[in-house]
Structure 1
Amino acid sequence: MTAYLKRQTMRIIAFIMLLIIYLINSGQLTTATEYAKKNPAIATKYIGIMLMTMAVILALFAWLYRRQLQRGNPHHFKKRPFTIKSILQLFAFFIGMLAVQVLWSQLIVHHILPMPTNQSEVDSQALQLPFWNNFYSIVAAPVFEEFIFRGFFFNFFFAKNNRRNIVLGILISGFIFGFLHTFSFSVTTLFYSGLGWILASCYLYFKDIRYDMALHFMNNLWSIL
């Protein structure tokens, strides 16, 4: 029992550290955005730092993810070929994400639910530095978040391939994903959790994290368009 608790504690610490690394990188973009109008030179400097940091983190995450799967891979995660059938199936997951967002927007329009508080902040930030904020949201965030909330999460905590682990993994992964998009417990958290549940289901269905990244990419692109 002691060895198990120690192992799980180390995994939790490692997961938090990986999350912090990602937040530091996104924070560099936030800083650049704050300087976009008042000091463009400083903003450009932070963008350069962000891009260099992004490249290092991407290499680190990809290496660590492959290393974890080499050590143990009960779910049989691996690269699988994209086929017409798999692309159509991926599109079905995308339709599911769209359905959640359309339903949510209708509830907001009819004043049944409030507008997410972080959405106005995201929109305001994007206006200050539109290209880089949209680039990060569409390209970088899906890659990093899928590595963290699906790849590393399941490798650390729900590696066993059984129904109980799969269901619990999907639920908890989605809740963490939702909470870290709102940093609160509210109905908005459930909205983001719903998207997280779909992404986790997609990951475990295809068993290839690239499909999840593609789904996340499509969702974020649609949100911006």
Structure 2
Amino acid sequence: MKAKISRYVIGIITIWVMLFLYQTSQLPAHMPELIGVSESRDYQWLFIVLVTITSILFIWLELYTFDDARRYYGNAYIEHQPTRKHKWLMFGIMVLILIVFIIVQHFIKTPDSENQKMVVKAITEFPILNIYGVVVLAPIIEELLFRRLFFVFFFKGMDNPWVRGLGIITNGLFFASVHTSLFSPGMWVYTVMGMLFATTYVTTKNVKFSIALHMLNNLVALFY
């Protein structure tokens, strides 16, 4: 029991420190606005290079932290990989569910969250830089953080379907809490998205599939 509590405490501290470092690593993406660059196209590629470098460093830190945590705490559920056919089948199902979710969301009038407004504003002012960040960098970094690190610290015994379900729901709520207020009207959108990404990771046992789904979601969100 002591070991489990210790793992949870270390996990909470690690996740929040990583969230802070994540925001720090993305500072180059916000620099044009902070320093008041008026002609964004002349400078966007410079900031793209800078944010790529800081993101790669942070991704390396995430991978190192995950490998270290898995060596120490173990993760038998992830170690027993399903067949490639099963992985692609589950990914296909999750893509279909995501499409249905996007269509349903379109008919439910939910006010845009502050996060959505900030993203739209940033993309309008600095399109290349922020589309790159939203569609490519954010899904990679966030899936490694919200799925891989989250589950290795908090939900290891996912062979039990009840534990698996609880983990997916908790992960969805955690994902939503970081992106918007849990009491905001749009909270359900981020919760469902988080649960979709978590389900993809838990059923395929491969973060590449949840990254791909996250990228697809963010790409569609830009034009839908």
- Tell me which interval the TM-score lies in, with the shorter structure as reference length: 0.7 to 0.9
1:118-129 to 2 correspondence within 5 Å? 118-129=115-126
Q: Which runs of 5+ in 2 are unaligned?
A: none
1:95 is matched by which residue type in structure 2? L
3-state SS of paired residue (1:76):
helix
Aligned residue pair count: 220
Q: Of residues 64, 71, 75 in structure 2, which corresponds to 1:73?
A: 75
2:37 is matched by which residue type in structure 1? K
**Equivalents in 2 of 1:48, 1:86: separation in Å?**
33
2:103 is matched by which residue type in structure 1? V
3-state SS of paired residue (1:160):
coil
Q: Relative to 1, partners in 2 of residues 1:135 and 1:44: Cα closer, same or farther, differing over 3 Å?
A: closer
2:20 is matched by which residue type in structure 1? I
| Match status 1:214 vs 2:212 | yes
**Equivalents in 2 of 1:184, 1:206: separation in Å?**
28
1:95-114 to 2 correspondence within 5 Å? 95-108=96-109, 113-114=110-111
Residues 26 and 54, structure 2, Cα contact 8 Å, conserved in 1: no
Deviation at 1:213, TM superposition (A): 0.9
1:206 is matched by which residue type in structure 2? T
Residues 90 and 203, structure 2, Cα contact 8 Å, conserved in 1: no
**Equivalents in 2 of 1:74, 1:116: separation in Å?**
38
Q: TM-score, normalised by structure 2?
A: 0.85
Q: TM-score, normalised by structure 1?
A: 0.84
The answer for the alignment partner of 2:188 in structure 1 is 190
Q: Of residues 129, 132, 135 in structure 2, which corresponds to 1:132?
A: 129
Residues 178 and 196, structure 1, Cα contact 8 Å, conserved in 2: yes
Q: Which runs of 5+ in 1 are unaligned?
A: none
Task: Say which is worse superposed, 85-94 or 54-63, in terms of deviation.
Answer: 85-94
Residues 28 and 49, structure 1, Cα contact 8 Å, conserved in 2: yes
1:6-17 to 2 correspondence within 5 Å? 6-17=6-17
Query: Once superposed, what is the RMSD of the aligned Cα atoms?
Result: 2.6
| Match status 1:152 vs 2:156 | no
Deviation string 1:96-119 (CA, Å, 9 cap, x unpaired) is 1222222122111xxxx3333432
Q: Relative to 1, partners in 2 of residues 1:154 and 1:3: Cα closer, same or farther, differing over 3 Å?
A: closer
